[in-house]
Each structure stands twice: as structure tokens, then as C-alpha cells.
Chain A
Amino acid sequence: MKRLWRFWPLRITLIYFIVSALWIVFSDSILNRLTGSLAAASIWQTYKGLFFITATSALIFGLTYTVFRQKQQALKELEASRQGFSILFSNHPQPMWVYDLETARFLAVNEAAVARYGYSADEFQTMSLFDICPENEVERLKKALETPRMMLQESGIWQHQDRKGILFPVQITSHTLEFGGRSAVLVQARDVSAEVEAFQALEHTRREQADLQEIINRSPIVVIRWGNQPGWPIELVSDGISQFGYSKTELLKAGFLFIHLIHPEDQERVKQEVAYYLDHRQDEFRQEYRLLNSRGEVCWVEDLTLVRRDENGEIVYFQGILLDSTARKQSELNLRETFLALQESEERLRQYIDFLPDPTLAVDPNGKVTIWNRALEEFSGVRREEILGKDYHVYSPLFYRQAHPMLVDLALEADHKKLKQFYPGVKIEGNVLIGEVEMPDFRGGITVWAKAAPLRDAQGQLTGALEVIRDITERVKAEKELRSAREALEERVAERTRELNQANLLLKEKLQALEEMEQTIRTSELRLRGILDSSSAIIYLYNLQDQFMFINRQFETAFQVSQEDILGKTPGEVFPGYDSPLIENNARVREEACPLQFTETLALPDGMHTYLSTKFPLFDAAGKIYGVGGISADITEREQMERELKETHLRLQAAFDELEAFSYSVSHDLRAPLRRIDGFCQALVEDYQNQLDPTARHYLKRIRSGVQQMAALIDALLQLSRLNKMELNIGRVDLVRLCREIQHELMQLDPKRAVNFYHPEELIVYGDEKLLRIAMRNLMDNAWKFTVERNVAEISLSEERREGQRLICLRDNGIGFDPKYTDQLFIAFQRLHDPAQYPGSGIGLATVKRIIHRHGGMIWAEGNVNEGAAFYFTLPGKANG
């Protein structure tokens, strides 16, 4: 009941019924009471009915209007809502559509779908979901359509294709709904291709990184990261560390320091280097040091370190890339050893060449001399220091008149035409040039046998050339003689053949001829024997068993033996104890097949004897050695003399040293007493002036003059003794200038003299000016002194040539000397004249002689009594050459 009451149309109808019923029942009675008259009552009745209809009509209008308005309002709202949805649907930025759940046909699509899929809205109306589904997803789509679905569901990622057939991924969200009375699905398709691409790119990067990691782990390099704390704790390390026998976990353990891996001897150096690089802000550097592997073995590593810093420049960590360089280091060491060995072998080769008996030289590819051995120094007379590094333009004039390519240069060039031109006697055998070479301008013309070859290294590269020469002048001469002897012999043989032919005819004559021949041979042998016997050398021949086959008479005499005793015996049997050295020398001669020289010693009854022996192989006609010949000379005496000479030289040196000490004391001690004598004489003169008579004063004067003479003599002696130790300072000296200066000095000492001095304009010699001045001073003094009695003294300095020698002559017109005493002139203290009349030290000429000798010259005097004297001397040196 209550529920009914709440339904308001029923409530309104009930209230209307009650009011209307009450109105009908009570309105007539009220009217009756009021009016009382019927006529009036009927009028009122009409009014009452009209009022009722009016009220009811108003009520009906009110109700109807309200219902109409309400309906109108609802319709309006519905339209607005429909329109809102449509805008949302069609303007949604993601593609959306509605499809029929049964047929999968599109019922509606929005603008985004049209734009994304490329079909127009009309075209969509004729299409189904299968038209945008690629073939490989059809099965999945069918299954999905059959599965019951929820109101709203995420259907995951699908592949769709647009009109052009391009596939793209979409994320599908669907919502079931009623559409046009059919059950349909509203779908939102979100294009996720960008996300998928990004995801794929991410995946790719991740894979690449993994690959890179893999590469690092598999490569021999080790990437290692360590912190910038003391000892460098390891923060990260690649798998490659296992090559050093360590595991990653082991190293990444807390407290393991990188410095522990480094060889203790290298730790300090590595630290210092790192500090240096950090100081210089070099954040990428390379180091090489040793690591100790887990077995404690040493490995060389090359480390490329990068320093990582944060934005404030603080070091975050170090990243090192280590590469095991042990093998490289080892090969470096090997290479170095090889190089040293090569150098040593080259040096050894140089030494071998140096000791080769034949002159040898080598040049580099540019023809510059690299080797000039000792034998060549001797042969050419030029030291290697002057030649090394020079080419033939410099040194060939030693051997030829002008610069001339040497054989060694032609071996370098391999120029046949040039070879023909310069060395017609040289042949080419392979790459070796070999043959005889004439040197017509060298040592008066010699012939050498020369051999030259280019030198190549293991790669065939030209590294220079080598030439060996041997002086065969003697051999060539001997060969020439031999040839002419052979020709003569051939002629004789032909003759003999003719004779034999004749002898064939005449047997008797033949026999006779044979006898004659035998006789000739015997004579010839005897003659040969005679020659050998008369030689002063000891000559002997050995057979191959080292038994004597022949000895000459000198041999018999020297060793007090007879031929019969010796022949067939070995040297050991003849000279007990000397078997092996003598036989060894023979063996060497046979081995080298050329003459060799030996110094051999033998003990004979009168003592040890030394022999200089030349031993030579004996060749038979077939060129085979059948024995050894020897020629020995006793050089015992020569050796003895050399020894004595050496001793004499030592004694002389000692004497010389003594003399030096002597001359020093002379300078000091001989002078001192003289000075005292002079001093006391002077004291006497001064202090006892009045007590001395003229004679006493004269005596004192004489004493003093004697002292002066003695002092001068001491000075001269000193000068003479010093001459030997003074070093020569050779230079260009004009003797004329020297003599004129001396003359000037002499004139000042004795201005009253009339002296004519004749001389050429200049006279240049080479010598020590100081010494030559002393010499010329003594000579001029002499000339000055011994011409004192002439009214006009004449002194001349001149130059002469005698027997190709340049002589210098100082001549005067003084008292001369007796030629008998020429030899005594130059001896110290030897005087030919009265010292009272011609005062002097008596050693002036001895001094001159010594000076000239020191210059390597000679001096002599020519003269006669009262006919003046001439002193000649030579001075070798530049002026003479």
C-alpha cells in the first residue's frame, strides 16, 4: 500500500477522485441552503458545473505540460551524449574501430585509423579484421575471436599491415559493446613500432657489448682497472689475466693490490713514471715492465694506461691494457746478441785480414777504403789512418803516376771496358778479377799479382770489394828467364832429336853420344854442386820422410859433419832434441806449398846458434812436392850485435841523464866560487886602495879578467850540453837576416873594425831559428876574430851546389888554418891558435857542429894558413827536397 502511495500519478488521481466526489456530494446541499429558491438554485447549478470543468482542465494542462517538458529534456541530453562519444571516437589520436564480433567486419573506424592504415572510411565498411592482419597472424586472430572475452581486455602486441603492406606492431585494447543492436567490440590500436625499435636497438647494444666483452676476454690483452689508492687496489679485470695464472676472483678479493703483480725491481720505476705522467697531466701513457705470474716467473708486459677523471679533474680510476711482450722482448735480446756477434765476427775478420802476409785492402760500395792491412802499410809506406775513408783519387797516386782506379774499384763496378783499359793483364773468373798488374812508376817498376772480388751479404747486396796483391816482380823476372831457358832447351831437344836420328843410323856414334850426354849431365851436376858448395849459406834438401837428401859443404863445415854421415838421416838424429821444431817447419812448408822464413835455433858445442832459414817446397815435373829445400844463414852474431846495441843505447841514455845532472850543478856550483873570487878582488881594490901598488892592482885586474873568461866558458859549455835535449822547432829561417843582425851586434861591440859583409838578398833554410842563431853567431864570431889583423876584413855568406847537394858557406879572409888540423877544429877545447891573441871559449865550433848535426846536416872547413877559412854546412829539410 505504502509503495503504491509513493507512485505519484496514483496519488494525484486518488486525491482528485476524493475532492471531486466531495464536491459533487456537498455542493448541491450547500447551494440549497444558501439560496432557497429553485430558480436561483438552477442558475447557481450552472455556475458550479462550469467552475468544476475549468478547474479540471487546468489540472490536466499542468500535468501534460510537465510530462512533455520532461521528455523534451531527456531527448536533448541523449543527443548531447551521443555527440560527445562520436567526437571522442573519431578524434582519438590512436586508431580505433568497432567491429562485429560475429563477422569481424568493421562497423566504424576513426580518423586516426584511416590515417594510419591508409584505407578510407568507406573502404573500411567493406573490410574485416582479416584484411589488416598479416598471414602469419591469421590463426592467432581466429583463436582470439573465438575465445570468450571480458568487457575490457588487453590483447597484447599484434602485427598489422597497412594498405601498402607494411607491417607494424600495435598494442590492442578492446571493449565489448552493443552497436546497432549487434554485439560488437570497440578496439584501440596503439602503434608501438618506435618502442619496439628502441627495444631492439637496446637489445642490439647489449649484444654488442657482450661480444666486445667476449673479444676482450678471449684476446691476449688484459684489461684491468685499479683505484687511485696506495698500492692500486684492483677494481676490475678481464678474463685474460688467466694467462698469467691468476683467477679473476683471486685478484678482485679485497686488499689485493696491483703493485703486487709487478716485479719488485720494477715497482719503484713504474711508480715514478706514473707520478711523472700525472704531474705532466698526461692521461694516456705507455709503460713496459715485468710482471710476476702465479708461478713467480717473469713476464714482460706493455701497458697502455688511461687515467679516468671526474668533472673536477679528480682521478676516478686507472684503466690499464696489458699485453704480454715477453716474446718480443726475447726476440729483441736475441737480435741484439746477433748484432753483437756479427760485430765481433766483423772485427775478427778485420784482424785476420790485418795479419795476412799479402797487402790487402777493402772498400765500401762507394769505393772508400775500409780496410788497409799491415802488409799494405809496409808495401805502400802509408799508415792506414791516412787512407781509411778515402777513395782511389786519393791513394792510387801512391802506386801510379796519377789517379787511376784500383782493381778493387773495378770489382765494384764490373765494367769490362774499363778493366781492359786499365788492367789488360787481368781476367775475370766468375766475379773475381785476377791477374798480373804492372806498376811502372812504383818503386822503380814492379809487377804484382792481384786478385779482387766484390763482397756481398747474405741477401746478395753489394757491401764492398776486397783486393789482395802480391809483389811478384822477382817471380816474373824468374819466369821470363825460365821461359827463355826452356826455349833454348826446346831448341836443344830438337837438335838432340836430330842427333838421335843420326845415332839410330850409327849405333856406335849413338853410344858415344850417350856417353857424351852422361858426361855432360855429370859435369852439370858437378857444376851445380860446385856452386852450392861454394855458397856461404847452409843449403840442404829433405825428402818427404824429412831425411837429408843433400847437404852442401858449408853445412858440413858449420856442423862438423860429413855428407856420408848425414844423408838419409832425420834432423833429430843429427841434432838430438831438435827433431820436432825442424820437422814441424818442414811440414808447414809442404802444407802451404810456398817458401817460408823461420828463425831456428840449435845448440852447438860452442853455444846456442840462431839461423834465419828460408825453406821451400821442391816440386817434381808433375807439380807434386817431393821434398823440402832449405837455405840457412847463421845470424847468431847479428842477434848478439843487436843485443849489444840495445845495451849500449841504455848505457848511453844513462850517461846522458848523468850529464844533465852534471850540467845543472855546473851552472850553479862552478859559477859560485868565481863570483866569490871576483867579489873579494873588488873588496881588496875598494878597501885597500892605498896599500896596493900599481902592480898589485894590475894582478887583481888580471884575476878578474880570468874570472870573466871562465864564466863565459861555463856559459858556452852549458849551452853545448843543453843542445841535445832542446826540442827542435823547425821553421823557415832567413840566414841572411840572422847574420846581418849578428854583424850589427858585433859592430857595436867593436865599432872600430872595418868589415865588409857580402851576402845574397836572402838565404832561406828550414831549421830551429834559436839554434841556428847560436851556430851563426859562433861562426861569425870566428870570422870576426880571425880577421882582426886584416885592414879590411871580408866575410861572405853564400850558397853553392856540389854533387846535387846544397851547401851554405861562410868564408873569411882571415889567418886561416893548417889543413892538417881540419879534424881538430870541431873538437871542444882544441885550439889551433894562441888563446892570448884570439880569445875564446874553445867550444864554439863544437857547438856549431852539434847544432848542424841535430838538424841532420854536416859541417866541415876548408882553408890554408893565411888564406882565410871557409865553413861549409848542409841543412836538409824542405829547402833541399
Chain B
Amino acid sequence: MDNISLIFLVEDNPDDELLTRRAIISSGLPIRVESAVDGPQALEILLGAAAPQGSARLTPDLIFLDLKLPRLNGLEVLSILRGRAETRLLPIIILTSSAEKSDVYHAYERGCNSYIQKPVGFERFAQSIHAACHYWLRLNQMPGQNKGTTL
């Protein structure tokens, strides 16, 4: 628990990004948050497409992914991440306003680990975020377990 966990947030709306950060930080866990504003940027950071040596590649402990993103939507980003060896095992949680059944179905089908429909009330939203962080970050730090093998 000495390590600071890294959470990667993909969210296009700066207000939402700010509020989600707030919710994450308020969980009280030692967490650092990095973010991207659209699909291609997220992929660049996670897969290191910008730095061919691979040195700049970011390996977060948990990813929060919005579905409605400009240029490349969340489901497409999810598919690409699950298709690549380096990100295949990362825990990814869909964080979205949509409660459409088809969205839930496609997200799980493409391999997300969890699906959170953002409640309108901020307190309940923060609670959902806390619960997700506690579950996935603690799980990853159990002794004798490598990152992401819980898949």
C-alpha cells in the first residue's frame, strides 16, 4: 500500500473530468490521476504510439473510459486495448451516462471489467467511483499477484 496507484481517465468534457478526479481523490486512497480527452490521445498514451521506443508508455492500474468520445468512441478504444498484448489485461471500467441496454451489452462483450452508469447525484456518483477504486486497486496489490492477472 506504499505505492501510489495510477488511474487513467478518458473523458472529453473538462467539467466531468474535473468532477471525476474530485470523486477519485476523495476516496482517500493514494492515487495519481492521468487523463486523455479523446480516443486517439488515450491510445497514444497507453500504447506509446507517439514514442516508438516504448519508454513513454503509461501503464495505469485502472482505466475509467467514457463511451461518448470525439473521433474514436469508447467502445472502439476498448476493442483496440483488448486486442493489444500490452493492454489486454488492464482493468477497464466504463463510466458513462448511457443506460442503454445495447451499450451495456457491447461494452461487456468487448471485454470491459465493469460498467458504471453515472448517477446524476454527485454523492452517489462519488460512492460508485470509490467502490470501483477500492475493489480494483486493492485486488491488484494482493501479495503474489501480478498486475491484471485477476482477469
A residues at B contact (CB < 8 Å): 664, 667-669, 671-672, 674-676, 678-683, 704, 707-708, 711
B123 CB contact (under 8 Å) in A672, A674, A682: A682
Residues in A whose Cβ lies below 8 Å from that of B121 = 675, 678, 704, 707-708, 711
Q: In whole angstroms, how far apart are the Cα atoms of A674 and B22 in the complex?
A: 17
User: Chain A residues near B13 (CB, 8 Å)?
Assistant: 672, 676
**Interface pair B98/A683, CB less than 8 Å apart:** no
Question: Interface 1/0s, chain B 114-142, versus A by CB < 8 A?
Answer: 00001111110100000000000000000
- Nearest neighbor of B99 in chain A, beta-carbon distance: A667
The verdict on A681 contacting B122 (CB below 8 Å), with A668-B68, A672-B16, A676-B16 known, is yes
Partner of B97, one of A671, A678, A681, A707: A671
| Contact pick for A683, options B22, B68, B100, B120, CB 8 Å | B22
Minimum Cβ distance to chain B for residue A708 (Å): 7
Answer whether A682 and B97 are a contact pair too, CB < 8 Å, given A672-B13, A672-B16, A676-B15.
no
Give the docked Cα–Cα distance between A659 and B13 (Å): 25
In the complex, chain B residues whose CB is within 8 Å of the CB of A669: 97
A367 to B96, CA, bound (A): 66
Residues of B whose CB lies within 8 Å of any CB of A are: 13, 15-16, 19, 22, 68, 96-100, 118-123, 125
In whole Å, how far is B104's beta carbon from the nearest beta carbon of chain A? 12
Most buried by B among A664, A669, A678, A711: A678
- Cβ-defined contact, A711 with B120, below 8 A: yes
Contact of A675 among B22, B98, B125 (CB under 8 A): B125
Is B120 within 8 A of A707, CB to CB? yes
Q: Given A675-B120, A676-B16, A676-B19, are A667 and B125 also a contact pair (CB < 8 Å)? A: no
B125 touching A679 by the CB < 8 A rule?
yes
**Given A667-B97, A683-B22, 13 other A-B contacts at CB below 8 A?**
A667-B98, A668-B68, A668-B98, A672-B118, A674-B120, A675-B120, A676-B13, A678-B122, A680-B15, A683-B19, A707-B121, A708-B120, A708-B121
18 contacts between A and B (CB under 8 A): A667-B97, A667-B98, A671-B118, A671-B120, A675-B16, A675-B121, A675-B125, A676-B15, A678-B120, A678-B121, A678-B122, A679-B22, A680-B15, A680-B19, A683-B19, A707-B120, A708-B120, A708-B121
> In the complex where A671-B120, A672-B13, A711-B120 touch, is A679 in contact with B19 (Cβ < 8 A)?
yes
- Chain A's nearest CB lies how many Å from the CB of B60? 23
Which chain B residue shows the least CB distance to A679? B19
In angstroms, Cα B97 to Cα A674, docked, is: 11
Evaluate contact between A679 and B122: CB separation under 8 angstroms: yes
The reply to whether A668 and B96 form a contact with Cβ atoms under 8 Å apart is yes
Interface centre among A664, A671, A683 (most CB of B within 10 A): A671
| Contact of A675 with B97 in the complex, beta carbons under 8 Å | yes
Closest 3 CB pairs of A and B: A679-B19, A711-B120, A682-B122
- Is A668 touching B19 in the complex (CB atoms < 8 A)? no
User: Which residues of A have CB within 8 Å of B68?
Assistant: 668
Main secondary structure, interface of A, reads: helix
* A683 to B, closest residue via Cβ: B22
User: Which residues of chain A have C-beta atoms less than 8 A from B118's C-beta?
Assistant: 671-672, 675
Which of B13, B22, B121 has most chain A Cβ within 10 Å?
B121
> Roughly how many angstroms separate A562 CA and B13 CA in the complex, as a whole number?
80
Chain A residue nearest to B19 in the complex (CB)? A679
CA distance A708 to B124 in the complex (A): 12
Name the B residues within 8 Å of A671 (CB-CB): 97, 118, 120
Residue among A669, A672, A674, A683 with most chain B CB within 10 A: A672
Least CB distance from A680 to B in Å reads 7
A678: B residues at CB distance < 8 A: 120-122
Bound-state Cα–Cα, A563 to B19, Å: 88
Chain A residues contacting B96 (CB-CB under 8 Å) are 668
Please, which residues of chain B bring their CB within 8 A of the CB of A682? 122-123
Least Cβ–Cβ distance between A719 and chain B, in angstroms: 11
B126 (CB) vs chain A CBs: closest residue: A682
User: In whole Å, how far is A459's beta carbon from the nearest beta carbon of chain B?
Assistant: 64
B100 touching A667, Cβ below 8 Å: yes
Nearest CB in chain A to that of B96: its residue: A668
- Residue pair A672, B19 in contact (C-beta under 8 Å): no
What chain A residues lie within 8 Å of B16 (beta carbons)? 672, 675-676
Q: What are the residues of chain A within 8 A of B120 when measuring CB–CB?
A: 671, 674-675, 678, 707-708, 711
Most A-side CB within 10 Å, residue of B13, B68, B97, B119: B97
A711–B120 CA distance with the chains assembled, in angstroms: 7
A707's nearest neighbour on chain B, judged by CB, is B120
The distance in angstroms between the C-alpha atoms of A704 and B119, with both chains bound, is: 13
B contact residues around A674 at 8 Å (CB): 120
Q: Name the CB-closest residue of A to B20.
A: A679
**CA gap between A679 and B122 in the complex, in Å:** 5
Q: Are B97 and A672 in contact (CB under 8 A)?
A: yes
Q: A474–B98 Cα gap in the complex (Å)?
A: 63
| Cα–Cα distance between A682 and B118 once the two chains are bound (Å) | 16
Whole-angstrom distance between the Cβ of A724 and the nearest chain B Cβ: 16
Residues of chain B contacted by A672 (CB below 8 angstroms): 13, 16, 97, 118
State the Cβ distance, B143 to closest chain A Cβ, in Å. 36
Chain A proximity of B127: nearest CB distance (Å): 12
Q: How far, in Å, is A678 (CB) from chain B's closest CB?
A: 5
A664, A668, A680, A707 — which one has the most chain B CB atoms within 10 A of its CB?
A668
CB of A714 to closest CB in B, whole Å = 8
How near does chain A come to B73, taking the closest CB pair, in angstroms?
A: 12
Q: How many Å lie between the Cα of A633 and that of B122 in the bound state?
A: 69
A668-B68, A680-B19, A683-B22 given; A675·B99 CB < 8 A = no
> Shortest beta-carbon distance, A668 to chain B, in Å?
5
In the bound assembly, the distance between CA atoms of A667 and B98 in angstroms comes to: 6
Inter-chain CA distance A674–B122, complex, in Å, is 10
Residues of B with C-beta under 8 A to A708: 120-121
Expressed in whole angstroms, the minimum distance between the Cβ of B96 and any Cβ of chain A is 7
* Shortest distance between the CB of B35 and any CB in chain A (Å): 16
B122 contacts across to A, CB distance below 8 A: 675, 678-679, 681-682
Question: Bound state CA distance, A682 and B123, in angstroms?
Answer: 8
Beyond A679-B22, A682-B122, A682-B123, whether A668 also contacts B15 by CB under 8 A is: no
In angstroms, Cα B122 to Cα A682, docked, is 7
Question: How many Å from the CB of A778 to the closest CB on chain B?
Answer: 20
